[in-house]
Amino acid sequence: MMSAAVLRTRRAALPVLAAAMLSAASALAQTPPSAASILDRYVQVTGGRAAYERHTTEVLTGTIEFPAQGLHGKLKRYAMAPDKEYSVVELEALGKIESGVHSGVPWEKSVILGPRIKAGPEKEQSLREARFNGPTEWRKIYAKVEMAGVTNIGGDECYEVVLSPAAGNAEHQFYSRKTGLLVRTTMTAVSQMGDVQVEVNVSDYQNFGGILFPTRSEQKAAGQQVVITVESVGVNEAIPAAIFEPPPDIAAMIRKQIAAAEGKL
Protein backbone atom coordinates (compact mmCIF):
# COMPACT_ATOMS: atom_id res chain seq x y z
CA MET A 1 0.00 0.00 0.00
CA MET A 2 1.25 3.48 -0.86
CA SER A 3 2.45 5.36 2.21
CA ALA A 4 0.92 8.71 3.12
CA ALA A 5 4.27 10.42 2.59
CA VAL A 6 4.66 9.02 -0.90
CA LEU A 7 1.06 9.88 -1.73
CA ARG A 8 1.58 13.45 -0.58
CA THR A 9 4.72 13.66 -2.68
CA ARG A 10 2.96 12.41 -5.78
CA ARG A 11 0.01 14.71 -5.22
CA ALA A 12 2.34 17.64 -4.87
CA ALA A 13 4.00 16.71 -8.17
CA LEU A 14 0.71 16.66 -10.06
CA PRO A 15 0.34 20.47 -10.36
CA VAL A 16 3.99 20.72 -11.46
CA LEU A 17 3.51 17.99 -14.04
CA ALA A 18 0.27 19.58 -15.25
CA ALA A 19 1.97 22.96 -15.58
CA ALA A 20 4.79 21.40 -17.59
CA MET A 21 2.30 19.68 -19.91
CA LEU A 22 0.33 22.90 -20.39
CA SER A 23 3.56 24.76 -21.15
CA ALA A 24 4.55 22.16 -23.75
CA ALA A 25 1.07 22.23 -25.30
CA SER A 26 1.17 26.03 -25.45
CA ALA A 27 4.56 25.98 -27.16
CA LEU A 28 3.29 23.39 -29.62
CA ALA A 29 0.23 25.52 -30.39
CA GLN A 30 2.48 28.50 -31.09
CA THR A 31 4.78 26.57 -33.39
CA PRO A 32 4.05 27.89 -36.89
CA PRO A 33 3.06 25.43 -39.61
CA SER A 34 5.49 24.46 -42.34
CA ALA A 35 5.67 26.45 -45.56
CA ALA A 36 4.42 23.41 -47.48
CA SER A 37 1.33 23.07 -45.29
CA ILE A 38 0.52 26.78 -45.71
CA LEU A 39 0.72 26.54 -49.51
CA ASP A 40 -1.31 23.34 -49.56
CA ARG A 41 -3.90 24.91 -47.26
CA TYR A 42 -4.33 27.76 -49.75
CA VAL A 43 -5.19 25.23 -52.47
CA GLN A 44 -7.70 23.60 -50.14
CA VAL A 45 -9.48 26.77 -48.94
CA THR A 46 -9.74 28.15 -52.47
CA GLY A 47 -11.51 25.06 -53.78
CA GLY A 48 -9.28 22.01 -53.54
CA ARG A 49 -6.94 20.28 -55.97
CA ALA A 50 -9.78 18.46 -57.78
CA ALA A 51 -11.49 21.79 -58.58
CA TYR A 52 -8.24 23.21 -59.96
CA GLU A 53 -7.69 20.13 -62.10
CA ARG A 54 -11.14 20.52 -63.65
CA HIS A 55 -10.01 23.87 -65.08
CA THR A 56 -8.37 23.60 -68.48
CA THR A 57 -8.87 27.16 -69.74
CA GLU A 58 -9.57 30.54 -68.14
CA VAL A 59 -10.60 33.83 -69.71
CA LEU A 60 -10.27 36.74 -67.30
CA THR A 61 -11.71 40.19 -67.99
CA GLY A 62 -11.35 43.29 -65.87
CA THR A 63 -10.25 46.89 -65.57
CA ILE A 64 -6.90 48.51 -64.82
CA GLU A 65 -6.31 51.91 -63.28
CA PHE A 66 -3.31 54.15 -62.59
CA PRO A 67 -4.87 56.49 -59.98
CA ALA A 68 -2.07 59.06 -59.82
CA GLN A 69 -2.03 59.50 -63.60
CA GLY A 70 -5.79 59.30 -64.02
CA LEU A 71 -5.37 56.46 -66.52
CA HIS A 72 -8.03 53.80 -67.00
CA GLY A 73 -8.23 50.80 -69.26
CA LYS A 74 -9.47 47.29 -69.84
CA LEU A 75 -7.61 44.01 -69.64
CA LYS A 76 -8.21 40.48 -70.83
CA ARG A 77 -6.16 37.39 -70.12
CA TYR A 78 -6.43 34.01 -71.83
CA ALA A 79 -4.80 30.97 -70.27
CA MET A 80 -4.71 27.30 -71.20
CA ALA A 81 -3.10 24.33 -69.49
CA PRO A 82 -0.25 23.72 -69.12
CA ASP A 83 1.48 27.01 -70.02
CA LYS A 84 -0.24 28.96 -72.79
CA GLU A 85 -0.98 32.58 -71.97
CA TYR A 86 -1.94 35.78 -73.77
CA SER A 87 -2.84 39.10 -72.15
CA VAL A 88 -3.90 42.40 -73.63
CA VAL A 89 -4.28 45.74 -71.84
CA GLU A 90 -5.86 48.69 -73.61
CA LEU A 91 -5.22 52.02 -71.93
CA GLU A 92 -7.10 55.13 -73.00
CA ALA A 93 -4.00 57.27 -73.62
CA LEU A 94 -1.27 54.70 -74.26
CA GLY A 95 -2.93 52.21 -76.57
CA LYS A 96 -2.49 48.44 -76.51
CA ILE A 97 0.01 46.44 -74.48
CA GLU A 98 0.22 42.74 -75.37
CA SER A 99 2.16 39.91 -73.78
CA GLY A 100 2.19 36.15 -73.96
CA VAL A 101 4.07 32.88 -74.03
CA HIS A 102 4.54 30.99 -77.31
CA SER A 103 6.42 27.68 -77.51
CA GLY A 104 8.10 28.44 -74.20
CA VAL A 105 9.15 31.93 -75.32
CA PRO A 106 7.67 34.89 -73.36
CA TRP A 107 7.20 38.13 -75.29
CA GLU A 108 5.76 41.64 -74.98
CA LYS A 109 4.68 44.38 -77.36
CA SER A 110 3.60 47.96 -76.71
CA VAL A 111 3.32 51.22 -78.60
CA ILE A 112 5.99 52.79 -76.40
CA LEU A 113 8.61 50.01 -76.20
CA GLY A 114 7.76 48.05 -79.35
CA PRO A 115 8.07 44.26 -79.72
CA ARG A 116 10.56 42.30 -77.67
CA ILE A 117 11.44 38.78 -76.54
CA LYS A 118 12.09 38.29 -72.84
CA ALA A 119 15.36 36.62 -71.88
CA GLY A 120 17.36 35.59 -68.82
CA PRO A 121 15.78 36.04 -65.37
CA GLU A 122 12.86 37.98 -66.86
CA LYS A 123 12.08 35.02 -69.11
CA GLU A 124 12.10 32.59 -66.21
CA GLN A 125 9.92 34.92 -64.16
CA SER A 126 7.34 35.16 -66.97
CA LEU A 127 7.29 31.38 -67.44
CA ARG A 128 6.57 30.91 -63.75
CA GLU A 129 3.73 33.42 -63.90
CA ALA A 130 2.26 31.74 -67.00
CA ARG A 131 2.13 28.28 -65.37
CA PHE A 132 -1.52 27.21 -65.41
CA ASN A 133 -2.99 26.42 -61.97
CA GLY A 134 0.17 27.75 -60.37
CA PRO A 135 -1.04 27.29 -56.75
CA THR A 136 -1.17 23.51 -57.20
CA GLU A 137 2.16 23.42 -59.05
CA TRP A 138 4.36 25.16 -56.50
CA ARG A 139 6.52 22.07 -55.94
CA LYS A 140 7.49 22.13 -59.61
CA ILE A 141 7.84 25.90 -59.88
CA TYR A 142 10.02 26.55 -56.82
CA ALA A 143 13.18 24.78 -55.69
CA LYS A 144 12.69 25.70 -52.02
CA VAL A 145 9.96 27.12 -49.78
CA GLU A 146 10.53 28.34 -46.24
CA MET A 147 8.40 29.62 -43.37
CA ALA A 148 9.74 33.08 -42.41
CA GLY A 149 7.50 34.10 -39.52
CA VAL A 150 4.27 35.93 -38.75
CA THR A 151 3.52 39.48 -39.93
CA ASN A 152 0.56 41.73 -39.18
CA ILE A 153 -1.04 43.14 -42.33
CA GLY A 154 -3.97 45.48 -41.76
CA GLY A 155 -4.81 43.80 -38.47
CA ASP A 156 -4.64 40.32 -39.99
CA GLU A 157 -1.91 37.99 -38.72
CA CYS A 158 -0.23 36.44 -41.76
CA TYR A 159 2.30 33.68 -42.26
CA GLU A 160 5.22 34.78 -44.43
CA VAL A 161 6.45 32.16 -46.88
CA VAL A 162 9.63 32.62 -48.94
CA LEU A 163 9.49 30.82 -52.30
CA SER A 164 12.82 30.47 -54.10
CA PRO A 165 13.01 29.32 -57.73
CA ALA A 166 16.01 27.39 -59.01
CA ALA A 167 17.13 30.61 -60.72
CA GLY A 168 16.00 34.16 -60.11
CA ASN A 169 14.67 36.19 -57.22
CA ALA A 170 12.69 34.76 -54.31
CA GLU A 171 9.09 35.76 -53.69
CA HIS A 172 7.60 36.53 -50.29
CA GLN A 173 3.96 35.51 -49.96
CA PHE A 174 1.77 36.34 -46.97
CA TYR A 175 -1.18 34.09 -46.06
CA SER A 176 -3.89 34.95 -43.54
CA ARG A 177 -3.49 32.84 -40.41
CA LYS A 178 -7.28 32.90 -39.99
CA THR A 179 -8.53 32.16 -43.52
CA GLY A 180 -5.53 30.63 -45.27
CA LEU A 181 -5.97 33.06 -48.19
CA LEU A 182 -3.12 34.91 -49.89
CA VAL A 183 -3.05 38.56 -48.79
CA ARG A 184 0.18 40.01 -50.16
CA THR A 185 3.16 39.18 -52.37
CA THR A 186 6.45 41.10 -52.41
CA MET A 187 9.40 40.50 -54.69
CA THR A 188 12.15 42.03 -56.76
CA ALA A 189 10.70 41.81 -60.25
CA VAL A 190 12.87 41.77 -63.34
CA SER A 191 11.88 44.20 -66.09
CA GLN A 192 13.31 45.80 -69.20
CA MET A 193 14.10 48.83 -67.04
CA GLY A 194 15.96 46.78 -64.44
CA ASP A 195 15.02 45.28 -61.08
CA VAL A 196 11.92 46.75 -59.45
CA GLN A 197 10.61 46.25 -55.91
CA VAL A 198 6.98 45.16 -56.16
CA GLU A 199 4.23 44.79 -53.57
CA VAL A 200 0.91 43.26 -54.57
CA ASN A 201 -2.05 43.22 -52.18
CA VAL A 202 -5.01 41.04 -53.18
CA SER A 203 -8.53 40.83 -51.74
CA ASP A 204 -12.24 40.38 -52.48
CA TYR A 205 -12.12 36.67 -53.30
CA GLN A 206 -15.00 35.35 -55.44
CA ASN A 207 -15.90 31.91 -56.71
CA PHE A 208 -15.44 31.20 -60.41
CA GLY A 209 -15.86 27.62 -61.55
CA GLY A 210 -15.38 26.22 -58.05
CA ILE A 211 -12.20 28.17 -57.28
CA LEU A 212 -11.84 31.38 -55.27
CA PHE A 213 -10.03 34.14 -57.19
CA PRO A 214 -8.95 37.50 -55.73
CA THR A 215 -10.87 40.13 -57.71
CA ARG A 216 -8.97 43.18 -56.49
CA SER A 217 -5.23 43.69 -56.83
CA GLU A 218 -3.37 46.80 -55.66
CA GLN A 219 0.18 46.85 -56.97
CA LYS A 220 2.97 49.21 -55.97
CA ALA A 221 6.16 49.38 -58.02
CA ALA A 222 8.71 52.09 -58.76
CA GLY A 223 6.59 54.67 -56.95
CA GLN A 224 3.55 53.87 -59.06
CA GLN A 225 0.24 52.35 -58.01
CA VAL A 226 -1.84 50.09 -60.24
CA VAL A 227 -5.31 48.83 -59.32
CA ILE A 228 -6.74 45.82 -61.16
CA THR A 229 -10.37 44.77 -60.72
CA VAL A 230 -11.49 41.40 -62.06
CA GLU A 231 -15.01 41.46 -63.45
CA SER A 232 -15.33 37.85 -64.58
CA VAL A 233 -13.41 34.62 -65.10
CA GLY A 234 -14.76 32.29 -67.75
CA VAL A 235 -13.82 28.69 -67.01
CA ASN A 236 -13.30 25.92 -69.59
CA GLU A 237 -14.36 28.13 -72.48
CA ALA A 238 -13.22 27.15 -75.97
CA ILE A 239 -10.30 29.41 -76.90
CA PRO A 240 -9.28 29.57 -80.59
CA ALA A 241 -5.67 28.52 -81.10
CA ALA A 242 -5.03 31.78 -82.94
CA ILE A 243 -5.45 33.71 -79.69
CA PHE A 244 -2.10 32.40 -78.48
CA GLU A 245 -0.28 33.10 -81.75
CA PRO A 246 2.05 36.09 -81.35
CA PRO A 247 1.86 39.14 -83.67
CA PRO A 248 3.82 38.78 -86.95
CA ASP A 249 6.78 40.88 -85.77
CA ILE A 250 7.09 38.85 -82.57
CA ALA A 251 6.72 35.60 -84.53
CA ALA A 252 9.59 36.68 -86.80
CA MET A 253 11.77 37.42 -83.77
CA ILE A 254 10.99 34.00 -82.28
CA ARG A 255 11.86 32.24 -85.55
CA LYS A 256 15.14 34.13 -85.71
CA GLN A 257 15.94 33.20 -82.11
CA ILE A 258 15.20 29.53 -82.75
CA ALA A 259 17.31 29.54 -85.91
CA ALA A 260 20.21 31.13 -84.04
CA ALA A 261 19.95 28.52 -81.29
CA GLU A 262 20.04 25.77 -83.93
CA GLY A 263 23.05 27.34 -85.62
CA LYS A 264 21.18 28.11 -88.84
CA LEU A 265 22.08 31.78 -88.93
Q: Are 116 and 105 in contact (CB under 8 A)?
A: no
Contact of 198 with 186, CB cutoff 8 Å: yes
Question: What residue segments make up the domains of the chain, in order of their start?
Answer: 53-141+202-261
The answer to whether the beta carbons of residues 134 and 143 sit under 8 Å apart is: no
Q: How many CA atoms lie within 13 A of 31 on its CB side?
A: 8
Q: What is the pLDDT of residues 115-143, one digit of tens each?
A: 999 999 999 999 999 999 999 999 999 99
Percent of the chain whose pLDDT exceeds 70: 88
**How does strand 182-191 pair with strand 194-208?**
antiparallel
| pLDDT score recorded for residue 40 | 98
* Contacts of residue 170, Cβ cutoff 8 Å, sequence gap at least 6: 162, 163, 164, 187
Q: What is the pTM of this model?
A: 0.84
Mean pLDDT of 212-235: 95
Mean pLDDT of 216-242: 95
pLDDT at residue 17, rounded to an integer = 56
Residues 248/61/195/176 CA torsion (nearest 10 deg): -150
Q: Over 50: is that where the pLDDT of 13 sits?
A: no
Is 261's pLDDT higher than 90?
Answer: no
Residues 6+ apart with CB under 8 A from 21: none
Radius of gyration of the chain (CA): 25
How far apart (Å, rounded) are the C-alpha atoms in residues 192 and 235? 32
CATH architecture assigned to 53-141+202-261: Clam (2.50)
Averaged over 24-52, what is the pLDDT?
85
What value does the mean pLDDT of the chain take? 88
* Phi–psi pair at 93, nearest 5 degrees: -100, -15
